[in-house]
A = this chain, B = another copy of it.
Amino acid sequence: MSATTRKPGARDRLVAAAERLFYADGIHAVGVDRLCAEAEVSKRSLYQHFAGKDDVIVAMLEARGAALRSMGDPGADAPPRERVLGVFDALERAAQDDGFRGCPFVGAATELKDPAHPASVTARQHKEALTAWFAERAREADVAEPDALALQLTLLFDGASAYAVVRGGSTAATRQAVGILLDAHGA
């Protein structure tokens, strides 16, 4: 028990339920009643912990972000190229699952539409963090244009996510494209 939070409690269960339900069925499709029921938390408690549904969405994305940060990373001692490929391997693995619904951040921003929504801001920050992580690996590999390569890898990442959502599963063409870009940039 930390100094700020005395109990593990209801808030965490709400966030966990939000991660599951919002991802599986969509943010608009899940009402607060169902969310509370699934979390086994009273509606009143929800509004003691959060300002409203929008606030729950943000908390859910932040929890997702923390969990996803080091998704398929083999570790800092591995060569940068392997670490980059590890991320795409993890995505490919996740995309095989029937329950895969794409990147939750892109999904939230897409469904919310409003770029000024707090959750859209969180989504933007997460994507920028992913690109920055790619750029660090590119610099470690002494790439001439690390930022351009990082952006392109992010495009492929989100493109592969969209592919999985719309068509199901994954394609070997993704990994090939990653290799081509890496080679072209001299990584």
Chain A residues within 8 Å of B, Cβ to Cβ: 24-26, 28-29, 101-103, 105-107, 109-113, 115, 120, 123-124, 127-128, 147-148, 151-152, 154-163, 165-168, 171-174, 176-177, 180-181, 183-184
Q: Pick from B29, B110, B162, B171: contact of A159, CB below 8 A.
A: B162
**Which residues of B lie under 8 Å from residue A173 when comparing CB positions?**
147-148, 151-152, 155
B154 and A159 contacting across the interface, CB-CB below 8 Å = yes
A120 to chain B, nearest CB (A): 8
How long is the Cα–Cα vector from A24 to B114 in the complex, in angstroms? 9
Q: Is the Cβ of B165 less than 8 Å from the Cβ of A111? A: no
Q: Which residues of B contact A163 (CB under 8 A)?
A: 127, 151, 154-155, 158
How many copies of this chain sit in the oligomeric assembly? 2
Contact B106 A165 (CB under 8 A): yes
A128 adjacent to B167 (CB under 8 Å)? yes
* Chain B minimum-CB-distance residue to A106: B162
Report the separation of the CA atoms of residues A177 and B172 in the bound assembly, to the nearest whole angstrom: 18
User: How far is it, in angstroms, between the C-alpha of A158 and the C-alpha of B152 when the chains are bound?
Assistant: 12
Q: Write out the residue numbers on chain B whose beta carbons fall within 8 Å of the beta carbon of A155.
A: 155-156, 159-160, 162-163, 173-174, 177
Cβ contacts under 8 Å, A168 to chain B: 115
Residue of B nearest to A162 (CB): B158
Q: A110-B165, A147-B173 are in contact. List 19 more A-B contacts (CB 8 A).
A: A24-B113, A26-B112, A101-B110, A101-B113, A103-B162, A106-B165, A109-B166, A110-B162, A124-B166, A127-B166, A127-B167, A152-B173, A152-B174, A157-B159, A158-B159, A158-B163, A161-B162, A162-B162, A180-B180
